[in-house]
Amino acid sequence: MTVSKGKKLLILGVLLVVIDQIIKVLVKTNMGIGEHFNVLGEWFQILFIENEGMAFGMKFGGAVGKAALSLFRIVLCALLCWWITSLVRRGTPLAKGDNASKEPVPAGVLIGLTLITAGAFGNIIDSLFYGMLFSASAPGEVAVLGGYYAPFLFGKVVDMFYFPLFTWPDWVPWLGGHIFFEPVFNFADSCVTVGAIYLILFQWKFFAKDDK
């Protein structure tokens, strides 16, 4: 039995979200905030921090901003799912209107968009449910499943990947003494970033042509 293109993308998306959540749950239930260990020397570390929901540990002001960001992510994921579904149907018997006469969309475009969607959805899960599923994490205090620290929409996103590749020499203006890459991020952030960079570098011709 042949698996359709849409089902393959769905399987990919679900797999990415599952990987993201497994990593986050393992970190949150085994490490306290600020705890870290080296993976490949000091330049690749697992460092447990939490943020209010923006990528790479950035913050978005206050409770209202946090709720707005969570709702925005939900709407964004819904729109991306609708867009991917529309692109999958192009040039197929299921297509209607203009989509029926258009050429099928390259697989790379669909995969890139699926990476972005899966990454956004992975962080949505943290924001929506983690506050109601886990106890609060703190320095030296490991969270447990079955606790509670925040209501719906106000959970914190778990980050853990840290790559302090090198420190700029002191003589470098403005950058001296600072770490080259300081953000701490998670697997979901990586999916969004890789998907976006891939589309920009290798699939821009499709979007330029489609826009015309």
Q: Which residues are CB-contacts of 69 (< 8 A; sequence separation ≥ 6)? A: 52, 53, 54, 60, 127
How far apart (Å, rounded) are the C-alpha atoms in residues 132 and 147? 7
Higher pLDDT: 9 or 60? It is: 9
Ramachandran angles phi, psi of 160, nearest 5°: -155, -20
- The DSSP 8-state label assigned to residue 1 in this structure reads -
CA angle 135, 137, 47 (to 5 degrees): 145
pLDDT tens per residue across span 45-87 = 999 999 875 555 555 556 666 778 788 889 999 999 999 999 9
Whole-angstrom CA distances from 158 to 11, 77, 173 are 24, 19, 33
**What residues act catalytically?**
159, 189
Q: Taking 90 as the threshold, does the pLDDT of residue 28 lie above it? A: yes
pLDDT tens per residue across span 96-121 = 556 555 678 899 999 999 999 999 99
Helix (H) or strand (E) holding 96: none
Domain residue spans of the chain: 5-211
